[in-house]
Chains A and B, each alone.
Chain A
Amino acid sequence: MKLPAPVRHGINLVELFVHRHGSKLGFGVIGVLLLFLWAPIFVVSFMSFADREVLNFPPDELTIQWYVSFLGNQQALDALYTTLHVAAFATPIGIGISILIAYAIDRYDFPGRTALQVLATLPMIIPLIVVAVAMTMFFGQLGLGSGFWMVVFAHSIQIIPFGTLIILSTLLSFDKTLEEASKDLGANELETFYQITLPNILPSIIAATLLGFTISFNEFVYTYFVKDTATNTLPTYIWDRLQHSASPEVNVISVIFLGVAVLMVLLAVLITNVERIAIRD
């Protein structure tokens, strides 16, 4: 057997190149893809200050006239109000049901436990349009009609899989010996829940609520099929506008959606930070 040399040569040059320049390639990928993700958002934000009705890039002059006209547009404001109104009901209903499902799966062993988990995940798996048309037929057939409350329940259905996923993962990773320790130290079941369990899972419930709100605020497909003509949310309102001709007002609404997303993510980051501080103390 021939003795190997202390240094092996002749290794693939591509491998050496990747070894030497791997981090540069990595940063290049991150840069290009972040540009890809953010460029469209910058474009619409920028265009909301464009001066002309017809979309053209770059705009000749910058103006805030479209923000002013949005504030004077009763239809758009009504749509914004409806969106918030729906989210205000759909989020607590969806998250409340998510908590019940997560709690049942985490704490109880019962026949159909896996089935419940699959059922709670299913709305995420079946394509939105399929569920949307199914709801249209169902509500129509039962004579429930369409409109505000049907939109609320439809949104709740869409929130459930995400809410359950977030809350369940926290419950599963929550150290149950903490509860035992609390009871060992003399706290009863209720005190244990309020003082130990709740503070530990609360951040994930808040995070799920933020996500639920965002889902409802942005929801289009279910709403589009389930709503009646009188009910318009902001997404269905823009859809209508885009069917005719896009005005820079749609850009203004885009900025509103972006603002809501930033706000929600900031809140979520803030809460996870609060959680970290709480753990450190």
Chain B
Amino acid sequence: MSIVSIQDVRKEFGDIVAVSDASFDIKDGEFVSILGPSGSGKSTILRMIAGFETPTSGAIAIDGDDVVGVPPFNRNVNMVFQSLALFPHLTVAENIAYGLKQQGVGKEERSERIDEMLSVVHLEGYNDRMPDELSGGEQQRVALARAIVNEPKIVLFDEPLASLDRKLRQHMQRELQRIQAETGITFLYVTHDQEVALAVSDRMILLRDGEIEQIGTAEQLYDSPVSKFVADFIGDANDVEAQVVDSQGDTFTIDVGGDHVTVPSSVAQRPDALSIDGSVDVSFRPDLLSVTNEKPENGQLTIGGTVINRIYKGDEMTFVIETELGEITVHDEGAFDIGDDVAVAVAPESVNVFEKATPATHVE
């Protein structure tokens, strides 16, 4: 049973279409991220679920009930705001008690549940502190406690971790996962940071210009991106242009900078849409490439170039190689130096082929 169901939701602000025809479901107990660049409409979707915005058209159901038109204070969803929005004039305990008070929960039960929550977020004894006496990470925990204490159907996160430094952010990501596992509440997390989304979520919804580009697990988005946009947004990718020269049913041949290489048709999301002599975008992941100065294996695509930068990464190196097709980044071992002439070897099954992308029109 899905806890949140979004059907053909569209939101316009004047002439600007912030969200167009978005549909997705979130299952009970899932941890889902909505991922997208700024201005892609992810916060608008979140605010429509919370009740702060009303969709121009489409349906939103929470636990089976249509909630369009229901004000935010009548919805059993709670939000962790980007600014956290902790009430500065109330103590930690009063902040957490705020939602319970509105529900008419009695004083004794309130204080029990506050203590329970503070122990869930590891802030025992912080009851009487004021928000401005807390560190950034502690404030995050209070904001989270204030939301989940109400036992909402779903907790919405509007990039609350964005202001933290990397170490603390990673720690809070693990805490979010732990707390979600402990409470079993559904989490919907909005972010522009793919690292956060990949780390915490069961599934991701990738948005682009108000439209859903792809929904799937981290593996699905990383290994089988539906578009060059997804390939670029999730993880790192090298992009080159190519021509389709021949098609043989379950394989086809493409021309990459003069070299022909035959790839399985499974590397294209929609092989039928590729026409012979048509231009395509080819992308490949830096960690699936290798740098070599030996003769390439048969059937492998090689692109010649010069090493222009090398970055030490511990067990691996990152090489930036200048080629005729542009700069290509490769994660590999090897003792190549800046200025060395090398070849980048690409395994045919590791590439992704997309029909030519229409240029993105940005909505800010």
Contact = CB atoms under 8 A, between A and B. Distances in A.
* A contacts B directly (C-beta below 8 A): yes
A11 B102 CA distance: 10
Contact of A6 (B64, B71, B73): B64
Interface string B332-349: 000000000000000000
A3 B70 CA distance: 20
B19 to A, nearest CB: 22
A21 interface: no
Interface in B57-99: 62-65, 67, 70-71, 73-76
B65 A15 contact: no
Interface string A1-31: 1011111110100011001000000000000
B62 A9 contact: no
User: Most chain-B CB neighbours within 10 Å: which of A4, A5, A6, A8?
Assistant: A6
Contacts of A11: 73-74
B11 interface: no
Contacts of B62: 6-7
B350 to A, nearest CB: 45
Nearest to B75: A7
A16 B75 CA distance: 13
Contact of A16 (B63, B67, B71, B103): B71
A4 B151 contact: yes
Contacts of A1: 151
Nearest to A11: B74
B63 A9 contact: no
Contacts, number: 35
Contacts of B76: 4-8
A212 to B, nearest CB: 37
A7 B73 contact: no
A6 B63 CA distance: 6
A8 B74 contact: yes
Nearest to A12: B73
A229 B65 CA distance: 80
> How many B residues are at the interface, by size bracket?
10 to 19
B285 interface: no
B110 interface: no
A3 B151 CA distance: 8
A7 B70 CA distance: 8
A199 B65 CA distance: 60
User: Most chain-A CB neighbours within 10 Å: which of B65, B67, B71, B75?
Assistant: B71
A9 B74 contact: yes
Nearest to A1: B151
A4 B78 CA distance: 13
Contacts of A15: 73
Nearest to A3: B151
A4 B75 CA distance: 11
B156 to A, nearest CB: 14
A4 B65 CA distance: 13
B153 interface: yes
Contact of B65 (A7, A16, A19): A7
A6 B75 CA distance: 7
Nearest to B70: A7
Interface string B198-235: 00000000000000000000000000000000000000
Nearest to A18: B71
Contacts of A3: 151
A1 B73 CA distance: 21
B74 A7 contact: yes
A31 to B, nearest CB: 24
8 contacts: A1-B151, A4-B103, A5-B76, A6-B76, A6-B153, A7-B62, A7-B76, A9-B74
Closest 10 CB pairs of A and B: A6-B63, A19-B71, A6-B62, A6-B65, A6-B76, A8-B74, A7-B65, A6-B153, A4-B76, A11-B74
